[in-house]
Structure 1
Amino acid sequence: MITINNEPKAYTPILLGTTQHSLRLSLQMLIMIGMKLNDEIVETYNVTVSAIELGDLPNIGSEIAIDEIIGNELSGFKAKIRHSDAKLQSNVSTELKNLTDLKNVGRYQLLKGKNTMAQDLNAPELTNENLILIRQLLGVTQQELANAMGINEKTIRRIENKEQGITDTFIDKLLVAYPDLAESIEVQFDWVSLTFPDLTSKQVIADVLRLQENLFLERPTSQNFYTREMAFAGEKNIYIQDFSPVKNPETQAMDQKFGTTLYLTGKGTRLFEKALLEQSMNWHDFFAKARLYRGHLTRLDIAINDKWGLLNMNDLVKAVQEKRFWSKSKSYAVHGNVDDGWTVDFDKSPFVIRAYDKHKEQANKGYDTDVKTRVELELHQDKAEYVLDEWLNNDKKLVDITFDILYSYLWFTNGKIEDQQLKSDTVRDEIEATVEPMPAWSLLTALGKKMKFVREPKKQSVERIEKWILQSVVPSLAVLKKTGHWHKIIEAINTVELSAEHEKLVMATTKNAITQASKQLNINFEKPTKKYNEDDEQEKGA
């Protein structure tokens, strides 16, 4: 039995979950309640309840100790806890800390589970097969490799014959002799989503990003339960979604609901690295600051760029089709074709490993890139938070964390994996010990830990508009020019009224500094973009 606006109802209140972005430092939380009657949910309510009185949340689908709900759709509903079951706490500060520590609120609560990444992860060392493959890719003989490294040819021969191991000193000499090899694999962030339960979009812009607010276009949205979107330069590269202020019908005041999510897309991460550079910050500093504002990751994509062509997507797809691979999840999907490029996804949210032909993907869009193949780790919720915990709290290098995860979750082989091996309790170790690995994949995971996590800041550009003009409009303009109608085009360009999106794009493109940093840097983007090693920058700031 429960009372709803003073009317008794023969319902049993059931917890359906928390509502996204509802936890705040006010110790009030917003939860969804279902009214159960004869084993069916007949009504649902989003209600505000005291976190102190409620105590620990019951499991989703379980009865919750609420005996009264009052309110309406406009001003919201409030719930009162059944006094006989209430767990009143005397120490408010303790409850505040517990509330602050909660993660995965809202629709993500169902994804919250055991942190399966919390284990000892170690990527393999370079092997003799790896060295043979490196030498083949370099196109040199054993003697030529030895001469370039300044060592005895006998050492190369002994390593390739499995008579001698590979030391860190050997690898360092190899990278000095062939500096292009050191640049062949790069690691970058390719997507970042952060949720801030206690901030608005404008607070994120001013306090977390420290970007100039006038460079953002405000517009309505209906995505992800939000009602407002702030888009940098009017484009969805850097954008923040939250709730538009609404007028309170009782007080006539404008009420602002808290809770917002920041999105940095692939291009957005590169653009934001310009802002980090202006503020003399790196990604490590930024994430540490975000946590001070109770920001938690909802998605983090880490891209491993293979510029050497080490991985051949045709070979990877063939290995998948022939079941010459092992992954912690049996779920996988293959998309694409030989001409347009392949994409292979392993596992599914909240953790996906994706390999695809980056060069062909960009070529299909009319762009060029020096990246041949890309392997991405798409991490959601606690999987993404695990990476930050290891990086920020345990002082591990981001490259090491990335390749530890890749090595531990996915492995390709040259030989067939027997069904019986897949049933072993130590399947991962047994496969590596008994089945010949795919040399390219083995080399990627081993050599990758010697690579750098780089930042490659880019200026906000109008490349999308320029590309469309060059491909689709220029031929028509040439016709008009040759037929004497060119002056009309010039007049139209000079008198056209730009949209709000175009105005923001012009403003962001013509401003060199996009942040609020007191000491602005003069960055020349006309020259080739400088790359910054995240780990080196982090050590300098230590």
Structure 2
Amino acid sequence: MNTNETWRKELKNKRLTYGLSQNKLALASGITRSYISDIETGKVMPTLKLKETLNSALERFNPDNPLEMLFDYVRIRFPTDKVDHVIEHILRINIDYMLHEDFAFYGYQEHFRFGDIVVMISYDITKGTLLELKGKGCRQFESFLLAQHRSWFDFFKICLEENAVFKRLDLAINDKVGILDIPELTRKCKQEECISVFRSFKNYRSGELVHRDEKVDMGNTLYIGSLKSEVYFCIYEKDYEQYAKNAIPIEEAAIKNRFEIRLKNDRAIHAVQDLLAFNDAEKTAFDIINRYLRFVDKDETKRRTDWETNERWKWFIGKDRGALRLTTEPEPYSFERTLNWLRHQVAPTLKVAKLLDTLNKTDIVDELIREARLNERHEKIVEQQSYSTEDVIL
């Protein structure tokens, strides 16, 4: 068996072992599903560069890598009121495909939206134009970046060239196997086994209200540092969050815990500059973590500053584990979130109405749907769902 044939078989075997579809691998690699199929069946043989791209993309989904990093929140202010320049030159999205609405947040008055990619504009030109990508927005923007053959680093570089101001940047570290024990970390905080420059920590359990802008129903959540400061950490049980939001059984959750580094204003700008200077997300992330906190094991025979770093924490921050790379999870804009809401909040009531229709020999539910009128916003959403990523990007 020649080298190319061996590589081709290993690629397919790994893809199947990792439980990865051809479509998802194709999206992560920036090529078509049919081309992946042709590679696996031996109809074509990719170039050396594409082989490297496929290998790299495949390893992002390696279930044996217990930690992964990704951007989970990005908010950037551009010093211009020319929203079309931001959308078409910087984001490289055709503005004609975006939904425009006459409301916004953070003191802005209008916004353009494609799924969870939101660009806000203000009547006050000194406020400029604001881009906000929450978790879903980051995943959707990654699908555009892939199709544009760009990375986050390419995008951030253009933002700095445009004199943009980074208002917030969240870097998330996903723990797939439960390396982080949040109740244990909370206990260590209470027992002064967390050596940190932060003066505060707060622990919340499932169902407690954390903050009006924060998540609830997340299992155990530990905040280290003040939510008002320019840097703080949020560590929470991601599997409980997915159970509460999407009814995914806890034992089936792909991610057990999440460690989020939340940076604002100057801290966010410094992190981006560091990312671009070293092109090493692991270095940037753990330099921040190690600067601000260390979990230790109490030893009454020594001064607190000399207590040994906890072994589990040592592994998390890098001892005897493989290198941690920045990953992407490109996710094209879909109607799935709305369907989930319909499934959990509306479907039971709709089922009752249908049963009553049957009992009363009426046709009220179907009549309501027939008579419903779609406004411009609804029509734009339907229109957006009909486009492919390639249609939308510039």
The 5-angstrom pairing of residues 57-456 of structure 1 reads 180-182=63-65, 184-221=66-103, 223-233=105-115, 237-244=116-123, 259-337=128-206, 341-348=219-226, 349-368=229-248, 369-392=253-276, 394-415=277-298, 421=303, 431=305, 434-446=306-318, 450-456=323-329
Greater displacement, 360-369 / 455-464: 360-369
Give the letter aligned to residue 311 of structure 2. Answer: P
Alpha-carbon displacement from aligned partner over 1:298-338 (angstroms, at most 9, x marks no partner) = 11000000001111111111111212111122222222259
Name the SS for the 1:273 alignment partner. Answer: helix
**Alignment check: 8 A CA contact 1:278 1:515 kept:** no
The structure carrying a bigger helix percent of its residues is 2
Unaligned runs of 5+ in 2: 1-58, 208-216
Give the letter aligned to residue 338 of structure 2. Answer: I
Unaligned runs of 5+ in 1: 1-175, 246-255, 423-430, 519-542
Greater displacement, 456-465 / 479-488: 479-488
Moved over 6 A (4+): none
Matched, 1:496 2:372: yes
Q: Which of structures 1 and 2 has the larger relative contact order (alpha carbons within 8 angstroms, sep 6+)?
A: 2
Name the SS for the 1:224 alignment partner. Answer: coil
Name the SS for the 1:181 alignment partner. Answer: coil
Name the SS for the 2:205 alignment partner. Answer: strand
**Alignment check: 8 A CA contact 2:332 2:389 kept:** no
Give the letter aligned to residue 363 of structure 1. Answer: Y
Q: Which structure: larger Rg?
A: 1
Measure how far apart 1:494 and its partner are: 4.0
**Alignment check: 8 A CA contact 1:317 1:342 kept:** no
Name the SS for the 2:327 alignment partner. Answer: strand
Aligned-partner Cα distance in 2 for 1:387–1:458: 25
Give the letter aligned to residue 159 of structure 2. Answer: A
**Alignment check: 8 A CA contact 1:278 1:513 kept:** yes
CA 1:511–1:461: 2 relative to 1, 3 Å? same
Give the TM-score normalised by structure 1.
Answer: 0.53
Aligned-partner Cα distance in 2 for 1:311–1:386: 27
Name the SS for the 2:131 alignment partner. Answer: strand
Measure how far apart 1:290 and its partner are: 1.4
Aligned-partner Cα distance in 2 for 1:395–1:486: 67
Measure how far apart 1:402 and its partner are: 0.8
Identity %: 27
Give the letter aligned to residue 443 of structure 1. Answer: W
CA 1:197–1:457: 2 relative to 1, 3 Å? same
**Alignment check: 8 A CA contact 1:279 1:515 kept:** no
**Alignment check: 8 A CA contact 1:459 1:509 kept:** no
Give the TM-score normalised by structure 2.
Answer: 0.72
Alpha-carbon displacement from aligned partner over 1:457-512 (angstroms, at most 9, x marks no partner) = 00112222211222233334444445436854344334422244433332222211
Name the SS for the 1:471 alignment partner. Answer: helix
The root-mean-square deviation of aligned C-alpha atoms, in Å, is 2.7
Aligned-partner Cα distance in 2 for 1:471–1:500: 26
Give the letter aligned to residue 258 of structure 2. Answer: R
Name the SS for the 2:93 alignment partner. Answer: coil
